[in-house]
Amino acid sequence: MDRWAPPVVAELELVLHALAEENPGQWAFSIREDGRPIVSVDGDRVVPAASTSKVALLVLALQQVATSGRDLADRLQIPRDRVGGSGVLRALTSVHELTLAEVLELMVVVSDNVATNMIIDALGVRNIRTGLRDLGAQDSRLERRLMDSAAIAAGAQNVTTADDQALVLDRLCRGELLPDPLRSHALAVLGGQQFNDRLPSRLESDVVCRHKTGEIYNIRHDVGILEFDGRQIAVAALGSDLPEPADNLAAQVIGTAAQGVVALARGEQGWVRSGICE
């Protein structure tokens, strides 16, 4: 039985197009399941990645554990130049080292920028560029550490697309990028995300959302995996050029998109006409 019959796909396309066209800013959506692209609405638009780049960094760091002898228990020194932005390590000045597992968790669950720069330094920007291509993220680039004002002024950009994000998450689900138990570890880290006002905000309690948000000025993203009824569906929702303050808008648009994916995947025909999307 085709889980995504043409009428269901058409209705989901209608939902996502309506969300993109009827709300301020630029919106891109990409949905994948079991190696199959389901719907893409401007999914190839290149936009600032913000913290969604941390999904690929998590996978690449765990791939290094799988192949190079690095261990999740390895201890990493926290640098003196503790950058600002999101996270907690900048404030925890008495903490001087953490395990690799702890650094990865902080990078994702509280989007810690100090932890992220530690992972970028450990992997190397050049290796990350190659790694992104190997993951299949052909239009994504990481050219600098986070909060690097000089690199930003010089034009260095970290960018991505909704299609790239959904592809990486789908491949992670399918076990194509990491062996178990590292695959399970990655999913558990994504499941610990503490910023839950977007993708999970309108989901029922029986839907597990493993995800990573991204946020800078005029940008609100959320990318993740929705687990329900024995299924794992990768969802990427990227909002750019948004009017500030953008939090409520992002919560409404991205939350509705995730709600629509689950409803239509469950066969709730006529969902788009029920008034939920109005």
CB 74 within 8 A of CB 99: yes
Q: What is the mean pLDDT of residues 168-187?
A: 98
Candidate from 2-6, 24-28, 108-112, 218-222 with smallest mean pLDDT: 2-6
What is the pLDDT averaged over residues 66-94?
93
Question: pLDDT tens digit string along 110-160?
Answer: 999 999 999 999 999 999 999 999 999 999 999 999 999 999 999 999 999
Percent of the chain surpassing pLDDT 90: 92
Q: Is the pLDDT confidence value at 275 over 50?
A: no
pLDDT at 256 over 60: yes
Tokens of 242: 């948004």
Quickly count helices (H) and strands (E) in the chain. 9, 9
Establish if 278 belongs to a structural domain: no
Contact between 25 and 241 under an 8 Å Cβ cutoff? The reply is yes
In a domain, 16, yes or no: yes
Q: What share of the chain is helix, strand, coil (3-state, %, to 5)?
A: 45, 20, 35
Residue 3: its pLDDT value, please? 87
Mean pLDDT of 159-170: 98
What is the domain extent for residue 55?
6-273
Q: Write out the two tokens for 161.
A: 């697309």
Long-range contacts of 2-9 (CB under 8 A, 24+ apart): 3/33, 3/231, 3/265, 4/33, 4/36, 4/38, 4/265, 7/269, 8/264, 8/265, 8/267, 8/269, 9/38, 9/39
In contact, 103 and 119? CB cutoff 8 Å: yes
Unique residue bearing structure tokens 């919106």: 27
Q: What's the pTM?
A: 0.95
Note the pLDDT of residue 276: 45
Evaluate whether residue 1 is within a structural domain. no
In whole angstroms, what is the distance from residue 128 CA to residue 120 CA? 8
The residues near 85 (Cβ < 8 Å, ≥ 6 apart) are: 113, 146, 147
CATH number of residue 38's parent domain: 3.40.710.10
Question: Based on the structure, what is the number of domains in the chain?
Answer: 1
Does any domain span residue 73? yes
Question: Per residue in 60-76, is it b (16+ CB within 10 Å) or e — as a string?
Answer: bbbbbbeeeeeeeeeeb
pLDDT, tens only, 178-200: 999 999 999 999 999 999 999 99
Output the pLDDT for position 81.
87
**Confidence tier at 268 by pLDDT (50, 70, 90):** confident
Residue 21 has pLDDT above 70, yes or no: yes
- Is a pLDDT exceeding 80 seen at residue 272? no
| 24-50: pLDDT as tens digits | 999 999 999 999 999 999 999 999 999
Mean pLDDT of the chain: 95
- CB contact at 8 A, 60 and 170: no
User: Is 190 in contact with 212 (CB distance < 8 Å)?
Assistant: yes
Q: How confident is the model at residue 278 (pLDDT cuts 50, 70, 90)?
A: very low
Q: At what angle do helices 182-191 and 162-173 cross, to 10 degrees?
A: 130
Q: What is the DSSP code (8-state) at residue 67?
A: H
- Residue 37 covered by a domain: yes
- The residues that bridge with 235 in the sheet, in sequence order, are 31, 224
Distances (CA, A) of 273 to 16, 18, 123, 276: 13, 11, 48, 8
